[in-house]
Each structure stands twice: as C-alpha cells, then as structure tokens.
C-alpha cells in the first residue's frame, strides 16, 4: 500500500502544467487532493485528469488575497480534516525592462505571484500541521533564485524570496516534524515555453512529470531527514 494513500495533499497552481503533473502523481497513489487555482476551468480539467484514481476536489482561490486563502483552506479542512502535504506550485515568469525602468506594478506582480502566494498558504497551513503532528511542504523556486539575470530582476528576486522563505520555515519547524524544501527547476518543457522558444532543443528541458517525481520524493518518508534544501532539477537546460 502506498504511503500516500488517503493523505490529504493541497496543490496550488493546479490548473497549470506542473501543478497538474503533481496532482496526477499523487492521484496515482490514492491521495485526497485539494486543487487550488484562480482558473476554475483549468482546475476542472485537472480534477478530470485525476478521476478514477483519487478523491480530487477543486477549490478556486486567489492566492494573493490572504482572506481568500484562509477561507479556501478552511473549506479544504472541512472537506478532508487535515493537510498532510502542501505543494506550492503556483507561480509565474515575466521578462521585464531594466531595473531603473521597472514600474511598481511589475515588481509587485512578480513578488505577489511567486512569493506572497507561498507566504499566504504556509502561514495558514502550518498551524494545522502542528496540530496533527507534522507534515511536508514543497515550494517551487527557480534556478534564477541563485543568480540574477538581466531584465529579470523582479522574477529573480521573487524566486530568491521563495528559497530563503523555505529555509526560514525549515529552521522554525525542524523540531515539529514539518519538513520544508523547495525545488529549483531549469527550463520546463511546456507548450507555452515551446511556443516562446521554438528553436530550442526541447529534449534538454525538464518534463513536468520529472519535477513532479521530485516533489513526491520530498513529500515521502524517504526524505524524512531532508529539510531546508533547495534541489536543482535542471535536466540538460
């Protein structure tokens, strides 16, 4: 029997390519899935992709709005009673102008989408994990968190925030049986990236399913002594 069977797994960004891949690997193990995203139609597609393998329910939510996040997670807890695993997959990327030409709205958009979303879900879910004796949190940072790039300042800073927030959460909870880690993907092989970079060698990119396997590993008992880690998953990109 799978160790993930009947575990309550909350996946943010569940309408996206990586979120759907993460949902599917846990569904195959018989987990109870709470799928969060701002895109109701996209979540419905992910629920359908998990059908027949696990209990998967859609929870539309604006992860930038703390009150909305709290209401949504309260609804998840009413449905499943607990959250064993939090997979913070929501996020995004945008190129930008030079830093001196960057508007406040562009900075805020990246910081909210990539960092505030993680902050909001973690601060609501951790009290439940404490009450239930532990849990696993896996966040998505990026390779760009470790080295800034030109015209990517807000994105790089937001992903660096996710990395250091992961380390802080791990330090705060290492004696509470709550392990907190993040992954650092390289270029992910998605339809959107293929369209944006049609001349690239797609075979060198990282398939979403491969990243999902790493997320599952970090949520597993095999990773029970791993916390505060930032795991590079670059493929050949």
Residues with a known catalytic role: 155
Vertex 65, ends 62 and 66: CA angle to 5°? 125
3-state secondary structure of 232: strand
Nearest to 156 by CA among 111, 190, 194, 208: 111
Q: Name the residue among 232, 236, 235, 234 with its Cα closest to residue 218.
A: 232
| Closest-CA residue to 216 (of 15, 31, 58) | 31
CB 33 within 8 A of CB 51: no
Pairing of strands 178-185, 230-233: parallel
CB 129 within 8 A of CB 135: yes
Six-digit token string for 3? 């160790």
Q: How many whole angstroms separate alpha carbon 140 and alpha carbon 204?
A: 20
Comparing CA positions, the residue from 213, 141, 150 lying closest to residue 182 is 141
CA distances from residue 2 to 5, 6, 45 in whole angstroms, order as listed: 5, 9, 25
* Rounded Cα–Cα distance for residues 104 and 221 (Å): 42
């Amino acid at each position: 029997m799978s160790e993930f069977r009947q575990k309550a797994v909350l996946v943010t960004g569940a309408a996206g390519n990586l979120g759907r891949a993460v949902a599917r690997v846990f569904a195959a193990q018989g987990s109870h899935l709470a799928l969060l995203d701002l895109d109701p139609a996209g979540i419905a597609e992910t629920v359908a992709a998990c059908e027949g393998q696990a209990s998967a329910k859609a929870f539309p939510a604006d992860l930038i709005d703390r009150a909305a996040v709290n209401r949504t997670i309260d609804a998840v807890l009413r449905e499943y009673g607990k959250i064993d695993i939090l997979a913070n997959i929501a996020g995004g990327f945008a190129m930008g102008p030079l830093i001196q030409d960057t508007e406040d709205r562009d900075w805020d958009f990246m910081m909210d989408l990539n960092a505030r979303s993680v902050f909001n879900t973690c601060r609501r879910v951790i009290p439940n994990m404490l009450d239930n004796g532990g849990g696993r949190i896996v966040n998505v940072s990026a390779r760009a968190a470790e080295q800034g790039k030109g015209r990517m300042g807000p994105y790089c800073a937001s992903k660096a925030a996710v990395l250091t927030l992961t380390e802080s959460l791990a330090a705060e909870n290492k004696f509470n049986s709550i392990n907190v880690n993040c992954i650092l993907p390289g270029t992910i092989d998605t339809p959107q990236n293929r369209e944006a970079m049609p001349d690239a060698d797609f075979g060198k990119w990282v398939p979403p399913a491969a990243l999902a396997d790493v997320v599952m590993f970090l949520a597993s008992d095999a990773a029970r002594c791993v916390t505060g880690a930032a795991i590079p998953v670059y493929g050949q990109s």
